[in-house]
Amino acid sequence: MPAADLQYSEPGADEGHPPVQCEACRSALEADSRRTISFLLLDQFTIPLVSCEDHLEQFASVCGLTTQDDAETLDHRPAGGIRCPGCQHAPHSASQPVIPVREGAVLVVACPEHQSKIVQRFQTGLQTQHHLSSSVDATTPSLR
Ligand SMILES: [Zn+2]
Ligand SMILES: [Zn+2]
């Protein structure tokens, strides 16, 4: 069949962000409203985030691995407000970083300083999680 011309891959499929598979995340990310914003409370940070409930939860638990206290999520503005004025006025826009969380994604709506802080925490948390799960695998016989 002379269909080779039609077989090239979709434009843009190989570059930029991979598509977010989680539908709930996608619709949260696409809604251009601050109503969808949640808040991650981690140590002294209050970081505004946009994601679906599930992936927000996963993101928080990974970040929580980097602290003694539990990371907490709120779906409303915390009572004390956001202490950082940069985060408070951070634009909810496509220029903010989107962090992939399994098949979902989390949009960080924070100032550049806190963006990089929370990304760092998440990456450290992922390493810790990886470490934990591989040492559990090595020492715990699986019960099947
Ligand atoms: Zn999701
Ligand atoms: Zn900030």
Domain annotation covers residue 31: yes
**How confident is the model at residue 136, as a pLDDT?**
60
Ligand 2 centroid distance, CA of 56 (Å) = 19
Ligand 1 centroid distance, CA of 143 (Å) = 30
Find residue 122's DSSP bridge partners. none
**How confident is the model at residue 139, as a pLDDT?**
55
d(CA 133, CA 138): 9
Domain annotation covers residue 142: no
Residue listed under structure tokens 């808040």? 39
Domain annotation covers residue 84: yes
Domain annotation covers residue 11: no
Please tell me the number of the ligand nearest to residue 118's CA.
Answer: 2
Ligand 1 centroid distance, CA of 102 (Å) = 9
Please tell me the number of the ligand nearest to residue 44's CA.
Answer: 2
Report percent pLDDT > 90 for the chain.
Answer: 53
Please tell me the number of the ligand nearest to residue 48's CA.
Answer: 2
What average pLDDT does range 6-31 have in this prediction?
Answer: 70
Domain annotation covers residue 6: no
Domain annotation covers residue 113: yes
What average pLDDT does range 43-50 have in this prediction?
Answer: 93
Domain annotation covers residue 10: no
Domain limits for position 82: 19-123
